[in-house]
Structure 1
Amino acid sequence: MKRGDALVARIEAERDSEDERTSATMELLSCLSAGYPIERIGPLLRSDNIMAVKSGAFLASEMSNRAAPLVDDIQRLLASPVPWIRHDAIQVIWAAATASNGRAVAQAASLVNDPHVVVRSDAMHLLANTRDDVLRSALEYLDSALAPLTSWLLDEAPERMAEVARHRLDDPDPLTRRFAAIALVRHAGSNTGLLADAANSNDDDVASFASERLKRLEMEKTNPQRSRCAPLSARNP
């Protein structure tokens, strides 16, 4: 406990070089993995030191659903000016939010319109993979553009989803195209034919998102254990 507390204080103090901060962050990750209470990194998430916040967000993102007590602090970081902090914050919401965190889920989902490509992709992954009950809890907090598209993801008849999604891949609105790709990933399962349409899109967000899913399906065939452990995108403490 004392070592973990000392590392939190050290990271927050902003005295170390970048390499030293990274080393301390990774040591603190080891402490968390060994049972150091996740709540005790809260000061990093609330710090005025942006590098401490970056470390805290990274650590929380590595803890999967153990980060649930930090969701309120993490929600504020979804509005961070630093793309990698927003990236890690989405990872936490995806892994740790429940149906009682609808506002946080909605804020994370809204980053499907983020100016940074990695953050947009993270939000697309969240929308494609979050449980129905958790995603439904966000509906009342979504804006007028996102709410109907998210409702469509949840409520479209399964037998119609592929047809409607394929048609929407060619919609002039980029947000509608992204949701079409999200729907195909969410509902297509292992049907690579449906995903291939999206992977051939002229929309870079759509094509890269569908291509990544196709690669993951191939990985699951050849190495199931590795596919479960592979990160969706690079992280940096």
Structure 2
Amino acid sequence: MVGPMQPQAGEDLIERILAHPADGDVVGPAANDLLSELYAGYPVENLTRLLHSGDDQLVPTATWLLSELGELAEPLIDEVPPLLSSPVRSVRYDAIGVVLDNADERHGPIIAQVMNLSRDPESGVRWKVLEFLAEASIEQLRAGASSLPPGQIKELAEWLILQDDEEPDAAGIVIRLEAGDPVTRLFAAAAAASLSDGENTSLLEHAALVEEEEIRSFAQERLSESD
């Protein structure tokens, strides 16, 4: 019979990852085992040793671990801003998920940083921003919008918040999907997703026809879930 996880196991795994940052055959299995240790109670704060190791090859591993922990990552939410501005696509992508799971009204600047990634050059990152905008709570969206400087993204965020009202602007969503620029279409697709249910998918059907691949694939995925 296997006994309870010991803190030393987590320590050993972090040391193993730190010693072999470029060896995927070592880091991958060790990271999976470390994730199990974190779920079992090994303090998430110890991931700062990977985040601050100075080795850029370890930051993606640490960010992936944070993204897999859900709300257990909350103690490290203040580590996320530099991850959102990382030059590494997978780090930005995973960091967005950490914000969705853990940010609240106190974290407006971090949420605003996610909203600004709606202009990210990478389609996959923009897809993750779209998921964030569609899934975020109204409190998260308000906190982010209030922290944005005046400009297009602030205006779109405030418009998206208005769609949570009793009478959302369905016609306005369609217009933005058809005639807007790529960032406008992304926010409109988020509104379409948040307003769609199993019975009324017409807005998502509009989103599935737009030019941007990340919006099309997101809308098609949501449509397949509603079948």
Query: Of the candidates 158, 167, 178, which is equivalent to residue 151 of structure 1?
Result: 158
Partner of 1:194: 203
**Ranges of 4+ aligned residues in structure 1 off by more than 4 Å:** none
Secondary structure of 2:85's counterpart equals coil
Change (3 A) 1:16 1:78: closer
Q: What runs of 5+ residues in structure 1 fail to find an aligned partner?
A: 219-237
Partner of 2:214: 205
Change (3 A) 1:79 1:34: same
Q: What runs of 5+ residues in structure 2 fail to find an aligned partner?
A: 1-6
Q: What is the CA deviation profile of residues 148-202 of structure 1, one whole-angstrom value per residue up to 9, with x for unaligned ones?
A: 1000011245434211101111124111111111110122233212211111223
- Count how many residue pairs are aligned between Structure 1 and Structure 2: 218
Query: Of the candidates 9, 17, 26, which is equivalent to residue 11 of structure 1?
Result: 17
TM-superposed CA distance for 1:141, in Å, is 2.3
Asked whether 1:164 is paired with 2:140, we answer no
Partner of 2:112: 106
What RMSD in Å do the two structures reach over aligned CA positions? 1.6
Q: Percent of counterpart pairs with the same letter?
A: 36
Q: What is the CA deviation profile of residues 113-161 of structure 1, one whole-angstrom value per residue up to 9, with x for unaligned ones?
A: 1111111000111011100011111113224121010000112454342
Asked whether 1:175 is paired with 2:154, we answer no
Distance in 1, Cα, partners of 2:9 & 2:157: 44
Question: What's the TM-score once normalised by structure 1's chain length?
Answer: 0.86
TM-superposed CA distance for 1:16, in Å, is 6.0
Quick one: which amino acid aligns to residue 175 of structure 1? V
Distance in 1, Cα, partners of 2:121 & 2:133: 17
Distance in 2, Cα, partners of 1:52 & 1:174: 33
Question: What's the TM-score once normalised by structure 2's chain length?
Answer: 0.90
What are the residue-to-residue correspondences of 1:42-121 with 2, within 5 Å?
Answer: 42-121=48-127
Distance in 2, Cα, partners of 1:17 & 1:79: 25
TM-superposed CA distance for 1:23, in Å, is 1.1
Distance in 1, Cα, partners of 2:172 & 2:154: 17
Q: Would the aligned equivalents of 1:46 and 1:73 in 2 still touch at CA under 8 Å?
A: no
Partner of 2:3: none
Q: Would the aligned equivalents of 1:201 and 1:207 in 2 still touch at CA under 8 Å?
A: yes
Q: Would the aligned equivalents of 2:124 and 2:214 in 1 still touch at CA under 8 Å?
A: no
